[in-house]
Structure 1
Amino acid sequence: MAFFLETLLGGLMAGMLYSLVALGFVLIFKASGVFNFAQGAMVLFAALAMARFSEWIPAWTGLPYKPLTDLLAFIVAALIMFVVAWLIERLALRHLVNQEATTLLMATLGIAYFMEGLGQSIFGDSIYKIDIGMPKDPVFILDKVFPGGLLVNKEDLIAAAIAATLVALLSLFFQETATGRALRAVADDHQAAQSIGIPLNRIWVIVWCVAGVVALVAGMIWGSKLGVQFSLSTVALRALPVVILGGLTSVPGAIVGGLIIGVGEKLSEVYLGPFVGGGIEIWFAYVLALVFLLFRPQGLFGEKIIDRV
């Protein structure tokens, strides 16, 4: 029982990180109807900015207190992501309002390749490490309930807590603020939202800025775990099944989908892997996504689109 719970907790914590990356897809799709293939490049670019400014700021300022320099690096990286979001809207998306979905999709692909190249030019192409002080030693919990307790990685636990907090704040933002309600109105109908005075361009800037902050937090966490390298942009590919499972238009769907994928990967690898030679964790999420595409393409919480003629 203890081993099962350890595996379950590991899956839940991994699922929260998947949900965090998937949120970037959902936020932009809800506001603009664009499936943002640049999300992985945004995670990479944000992680590179955080890693490099964590090195540059102490060298420039001489500040010895690392938590302060890390905070300054986070603020600078967040400002950079705001500028990137504004430039994307100003130079690309503003000129593509009400265009075909394929046109917008190709635009995000171009943005992705541009950001990867720009990140390499500005920050370099070496492997960098983000050290934000998260402890990496395992810890035993619930030792009074289970003999010996449950073994949990502290870094995964803190990362999952950060992801859960950000997800909760974004949910409140969408539900309780005027800007959040405007974002939902734009997601429902662009033209209707414009007709009642909601400025579409400003909403797009806001949602890209929010997605940039989400990408920064995701890049920090994944960079702390795996190191900052250009393969980090493929993290977004791990979130695609989460989006398909939860639904492209649902923030709760991104959360639930991430948890299901994370738990399913861990449990299938542990309990089914020995019977098929292992490796289930690599393809489990994509097979599950394929099943949903066949039988429920809108996902668990997505809206079913009905065309009437």
Structure 2
Amino acid sequence: MGFFLETMIGGLMTGMLYSLVALGFVLIFKASGVFNFAQGAMVLFAALAMARFSEWIPAALHIESKLLGNLLAFVGAMAVMVAAAWLIERLVLRKLVNQGEITLLMATLGVTHFLDGVGQTVFGNDIYKIDVGMPKDPIFLLESMFEGGVLVNQEDIFAALIAAALVALLSLFFQKTATGRALRAVADDHQAAQSIGIPLSRIWVIVWSVAGFVALVAGIIWGSKLGVQFSLSLVALKALPVIILGGLTSVPGAILGGLIIGVGEKLSEVYIGPFFGGGIEIWFAYVLALLFLLVRPQGLFGEKIIDRV
């Protein structure tokens, strides 16, 4: 039982990180109707900026405090993501208003390759580390209930708590602030939102900036766990089956979908993987998403589309 709980807890914590990346997809799609295929590249780009700024800024300003250096690096990386959001809206989205979905998807594919190229040119293509002080030593929990206790990585606990806090803050932002309500109005109907004075271009910059902030936090956490390397964008794409499960327009769906996939892939790898030679964790999420597309294409919390003729 203890080993089962270890596996399940590890899956839940990984699932929270998947949910964090998936939130970027959901936020942009809700506010602009754009399926942002570049979200994985944004995670990588933000992580690269954070990793390199945490080296460059303390060296340039002769800062010895690690906390202050990381804080300034975070501010610098966030400024880069806001600038990227402004450029994407000004140079890409503004030119493609009212264009078809496939056109917008191809535009985000172009943004993906652009961010990959610029990231490699500006920040380099080595493997970099991000050290924000999260403890990495494992600890034993529930020793009084199970013999030997349950082994849990402290870094996973901190990462899951950070992801959960960010999800809660984003939910409050959407529900309680005027800007959040404006974002939801734009998501419901672009033309109606414009007719009551909501500036569409400003809203798009805000939502891409928020998605950039989410990508930065996700990039820091994943970079701390795995190192910042170009395979990080592929890890971030695990969020695609998450939003297929949860629904492309649902924030709660992104959370639940991430938890389902995180737990499912860990349990399947441990308990089913030995019968198939392992490797189930790599493709489990995509097969589960395919099955959902066949049975419930809109996802668990997605809006069911009914076409009347």
TM-score range, shorter chain: over 0.9
Q: 1:190-213 CA distances to partner (integer Å, 9 max, x unpaired)? A: 112112221111110110000000
Q: 1:26-37, aligned counterparts within 5 Å? A: 26-37=26-37
Partner-residue secondary structure (3-state), 1:230: coil
Which blocks of at least 5 consecutive residues in structure 1 are unaligned? Answer: none
Partner-residue secondary structure (3-state), 1:229: coil
In structure 2, the residue matched to 1:305 is: 305
TM-fit CA distance, 1:265: 0.5
State the alpha-carbon separation in 1 of the partners of residues 47 and 302 from structure 2: 30
State the alpha-carbon separation in 2 of the partners of residues 276 and 185 from structure 1: 48
In structure 2, the residue matched to 1:134 is: 134
In structure 2, the residue matched to 1:197 is: 197
State the alpha-carbon separation in 1 of the partners of residues 14 and 141 from structure 2: 18
In structure 2, the residue matched to 1:229 is: 229
After the TM superposition, which parts of structure 1 deviate over 4 Å for at least 4 consecutive aligned residues? none
TM-fit CA distance, 1:147: 2.3
State the alpha-carbon separation in 2 of the partners of residues 52 and 236 from structure 1: 20
In structure 1, the residue matched to 2:279 is: 279
Q: 1:283-298, aligned counterparts within 5 Å? A: 283-298=283-298
In structure 2, the residue matched to 1:257 is: 257
Which blocks of at least 5 consecutive residues in structure 2 are unaligned? Answer: none
TM-score, normalised via structure 2 length: 0.98
Percent same amino acid among aligned pairs?
80
Partner-residue secondary structure (3-state), 1:151: strand
Q: 1:1-309, aligned counterparts within 5 Å? A: 1-309=1-309
Partner-residue secondary structure (3-state), 2:36: coil
State the alpha-carbon separation in 1 of the partners of residues 13 and 132 from structure 2: 18
State the alpha-carbon separation in 1 of the partners of residues 85 and 39 from structure 2: 12
Q: 1:163-204 CA distances to partner (integer Å, 9 max, x unpaired)? A: 111011111111111111111111111112112221111110
TM-fit CA distance, 1:107: 0.7
State the alpha-carbon separation in 1 of the partners of residues 34 and 236 from structure 2: 15
Letter of the 2:213 partner, please give it: V
TM-fit CA distance, 1:12: 0.2
Letter of the 1:39 partner, please give it: Q
Partner-residue secondary structure (3-state), 1:81: helix
State the alpha-carbon separation in 2 of the partners of residues 24 and 220 from structure 1: 15
State the alpha-carbon separation in 1 of the partners of residues 70 and 44 from structure 2: 18
Which shifted more, 44-53 or 133-142?
133-142
TM-fit CA distance, 1:214: 0.3
TM-fit CA distance, 1:96: 1.0
State the alpha-carbon separation in 2 of the partners of residues 198 and 308 from structure 1: 30
State the alpha-carbon separation in 2 of the partners of residues 260 and 292 from structure 1: 12
TM-fit CA distance, 1:144: 2.2
State the alpha-carbon separation in 2 of the partners of residues 119 and 281 from structure 1: 29
Q: 1:63-93 CA distances to partner (integer Å, 9 max, x unpaired)? A: 1110110011001101110111011101110
Aligned length: 309
State the alpha-carbon separation in 1 of the partners of residues 131 and 155 from structure 2: 11
